[in-house]
Amino acid sequence: MTVYGYEVANNYTEVDPGLPAVFTIAGSRFTYQLQSDTDGLYAWRDFTADYFGDNFEVRFKWIPTAANKSATYPYRVMLCSMTNEKEDWKVNTDASEVQIGVTHYTSATKHYLAPVKSIDDTTTKGTNIEITYGNTFYIKLIRYNETTLTLYVYSDSTYETLLGSSALTIGDTDYRYFMPVQNYNYGAGSAASFGYIENVSINAYPQLVGWAGALTEIENRILDYIKAIDNDNFNFNDLNCGTRVVDAEEYPICRLLFISDTPELKNYSMSDRTFKFLLIIETELSEEFTEASIERDWVLQKELIGAIVDLLDIKREDAPYWSLLTYNVNKDFDDLETIYDSGTVKINLSVAHPA
C-alpha cells in the first residue's frame, strides 16, 4: 500500500536495538540516530521473491541532520537497500549475501553519497558524489539493463538541478526485501549519524518484460524501415556505448543512432506508460561539398523522418502495441537555409504503450 505514491510506515517492520540508537518510522518518514557500533537497526518490507529484477527506479528525499566525519568508519548509513536477507549491511556482507543500495560515506574531512553493493564478502561503492552536509537532497537510484546501478543526486524536488551522478556495475541478482534505512554495523566506535529519509517512491517493473519487448520491436521496426529506403541493402551494427547504428552503403546520410541506453536520454515512465528516446541522423559527405549533394541529403533526411513518424503514427493499423505521442525535429525543413546547416538532425520521440 502507498499513500500519494510514497512508501508508508505501516507496511514496514522496524528493527531497533534501543538506546543509544533511536529509530522512528511514521507516515512516509524514517528517522534514524545510530552509531558505528549500533547492532541491528533497519526497516524492511517483503515485496516477494525476485520482485526487484530487471529495471526499476527509486526516488526519495534525504536530510542528514548530524554526523561525525570519519575515515575509520566511513560507511555511515545505507539508504534504500535491496537484499534477500534481513540484517545489517555488514552482517549480510560477511555472510556473502548480495545487496545493493545507496551509502552516506565520509572521509576525514568530507561527506559523500555513492551507489553501493556487496558481493563475495566485499562492499564496493561507485564514484563519490560530494555533498554539502546539512542540505536537503532529492535522489534517484536506477537499475538499468539489470547490471547497471546509477545514482543521481539533485538539489530540488523537481529533479532538475543535478549535483552529480555515479554508476556502478552490479550482478543480475533479483531482490526480495526493501530497506529504506539499513545500519552498516562496524561493531565498534561511536561515530554518530542522524537523519531521515522520506517520500520514497518505488517504480519496480515486474511486468516490464512484455513492455521492454514492445520497445525492442519499436527499434527493430525503425531499423527495418530505414533499411528499406530506396531498396538499398544497409549494414547495421552495435557501436558507441550501446547505440544502435545503421550505415548506408550508397548514401552517407543514412546513419541513424539510438542514443545510448542511459535513463537521461532514453527512458520509460510506467505512470503514463511512455517511452522517450532521442534519435540522431548524421550526414557525412564522402564527395565534394556541393549544393546538389546537400539538397540530396536534405531530401533523404526528410524521407527518413517521414518513415519513422509514419511507422509510429497512432493511425497505423499494424502497430497495435504503441502509438506516437509527440515528436520534435531540430531543423525547419521548410526553410531552405537549413539545408546548409550542420549535417545532424535530432529527433525526440515519445511513444505510448497501451495499458
- Model pLDDT, residue 137: 97
Q: Return the C-alpha cell found at 20.
A: 543509544
For residues 138 and 228, the model is more confident at 138
What's the pLDDT band for 209 if we cut at 50, 70, 90?
very low
Give the model's pLDDT for residue 1: 29
Task: Indicate whether 242 pLDDT > 70.
Answer: no
- Burial (CB count <10 Å: 0-12, 13-18, 19+), residue 212: middle
Checking if the pLDDT of 240 tops 50, the result is: no
Would the pLDDT of 65 be above 80?
yes
Report for 39-53, 234-248, 286-300, 320-334: range of highest mean pLDDT: 39-53
- What's the pLDDT score for residue 253? 40
Confidence bin at 248 (pLDDT 50/70/90) = very low
pLDDT of residue 249: 41
More confident residue, 319 or 235: 319
pLDDT tens for 263-308 read 555 665 655 556 676 666 655 544 555 666 666 666 666 666 666 6
Query: Residue 92: what pLDDT?
Result: 95
Read off the pLDDT of residues 89-122 as tens digits, 9 standing for 90 and up: 999 999 999 999 999 999 999 999 999 999 999 9
- Residue 227 banded pLDDT, cuts 50, 70, 90: low
| pLDDT on residue 84 | 97
Q: Which residue has the higher pLDDT, 44 or 308?
A: 44
Query: What value does the mean pLDDT of the chain take?
Result: 75
pLDDT tens for each residue of 147-160: 899 999 999 988 88
Greater pLDDT, 10 or 87: 87
Does residue 212 have a pLDDT over 70? no
The pLDDT score that the predictor gives to residue 208 is 35
Among 74-83, 210-219, 276-285, the range with the most confident prediction by mean pLDDT is 74-83
**Looking at residue 2, what is its pLDDT?**
34
User: At residue 177, does pLDDT exceed 70?
Assistant: yes
Q: What local confidence, expressed as pLDDT, does residue 152 receive? A: 95
Confidence of residue 351 (pLDDT cuts 50, 70, 90): low
pLDDT at residue 81 greater than cutoff 70:
yes
